[in-house]
């Protein structure tokens, strides 16, 4: 009977230990899952920022191209205006 009572107490303690261990493992798994989820979110945000930066650089380059075209157009118009003025004087 003593052996049964002692083994019953040991089983009770082991059961409690197993429950605590299981709870600890569950909490650790939840923390790991949360960290992985956060890491995926951060990686996604980083990729979005890089893509945004690339688009901004593309727009910046396009604006510089348009600026150069406008300068060339202005120079052409000025040259044509001079040509027309000289032509009118000849007439």
What's the pLDDT tens digit per position in 3-34?
555 555 444 455 666 888 899 999 999 999 99
When pLDDT is averaged across residues 34-44 and rounded to a whole number, the result is 97
When pLDDT is averaged across residues 35-57 and rounded to a whole number, the result is 98
pLDDT score at 60: 98
pLDDT confidence of 77, banded at 50, 70, 90? very high
Number of domains the chain is built from? 1
Domain coverage including residue 39: 1-91
13: its two tokens: 């303690």
11: its two tokens: 């089983």
Residue 29's SS3 state is helix
Question: Among residues of the chain, what percentage have pLDDT more than 70?
Answer: 80
């Amino acid at each position: 009977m003593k052996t049964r009572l002692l083994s019953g107490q040991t089983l009770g303690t082991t059961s409690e230990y197993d429950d605590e261990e299981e709870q600890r493992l569950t909490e650790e798994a939840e923390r790991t899952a949360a960290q992985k989820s956060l890491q995926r979110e951060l990686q996604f945000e980083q990729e979005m920022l890089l893509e945004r930066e690339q688009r901004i650089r593309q727009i910046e380059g396009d604006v510089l191209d348009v600026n150069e075209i406008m300068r060339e157009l202005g120079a052409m118009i000025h040259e044509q205006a001079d040509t027309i003025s000289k032509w009118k004087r000849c007439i």
